[in-house]
Amino acid sequence: MKSRSSENVSKPLITVICDNYTAREDLEASWGFSCLVALKGKNILFDTGADDVVLSNNMARLGIDPASIDLMMISHQHWDHTGGIYTILSACRNIPVCVPRSFSVHFQEDMKRYSARIIDVDGADEILPGFFTTGELDGPVKEQAALVQTEAGTVVITGCAHPGIVRIVEAAKKFLPNDDIALVMGGFHLLNDGDNHIFNIIERFKALGVRYSAASHCSGERTRELFARQYAEHFITLGAGSIIELEHLKS
């Protein structure tokens, strides 16, 4: 199978591999989240879903070779984001794996059996050129989010957003203050929230200048409905198989 690295050197793309939803009939939906960021010739896997079989099958159908992954970032230590870690590590020895500092020491030691090079994240930092972590943010579960710097602005990718989706966007804005927020995508963790709270979050997004939104995974059906209504053509309906061309997020 051919690596994507050589194909998309100048075209930043995000491909959703695992999600509660699917955008293609030949891909499986399963609770959890995983996406591939293709940036400047590097393939970065953000989270690995819950089910390693679904991750493997969906990657195969998307033409993504597990051996082509250059870096893995894990948002937080929940089963629906860590399920495919060993599938990737068994295909790619010696890769850097970026985890929040609070990640279980035992889990980190297990990953090192595959020669994973663990990057313990504390504060916000640049991990690869144009690819950043917000740092480990406090919350009911500690979590990091990914920031991708593009010509269109910052793309924020969240796992579950346990620290709060607005806090994560604020952290992105604080770390990259000169860049607009082009897109916020992933799990917003608003499964049990009422309309007023969701509308309040949409207002905060607009005030922070978030140009596109793509609530998925654990965001909840109602959250997707309300964001889709308020963001209209600037709402992206995500699912396994969705491909986002980041240079198209400029306006």
Question: Which residues contribute to the site for Fe ion (CB under 5 A)?
Answer: 78, 80, 160, 218
- Dihedral angle over CA of 3, 8, 9, 10, nearest 10: 180
- Name the β-bridge partners of 36: 15, 45
- Residue nearer to Fe ion on the CB measure, 162 or 211: 162
Using an 8 Å Cβ cutoff, are 63 and 54 in contact?
A: no
Q: How far is the CB of 73 from Fe ion (least distance, A)?
A: 15
- Residue nearer to Fe ion on the CB measure, 124 or 218: 218
Q: How far is the CB of 162 from Fe ion (least distance, A)?
A: 6
Give the residue closest to Fe ion by C-beta: 160
Q: How far is the CB of 159 from Fe ion (least distance, A)?
A: 6
- Residue nearer to Fe ion on the CB measure, 128 or 141: 141
Q: How far is the CB of 19 from Fe ion (least distance, A)?
A: 10
Q: How far is the CB of 233 from Fe ion (least distance, A)?
A: 27
The closest alpha carbon to 180, from 172, 168, 191, belongs to 172
Contacts of 206 (CB under 8 A, 6+ apart): none
- Residue nearer to Fe ion on the CB measure, 51 or 80: 80
Using an 8 Å Cβ cutoff, are 233 and 251 in contact?
A: no
- Residue nearer to Fe ion on the CB measure, 68 or 223: 223
- Cα–Cα–Cα angle for 219, 177, 189, rounded to 5 degrees: 10
44 phi, psi to nearest 5 deg = -115, 120
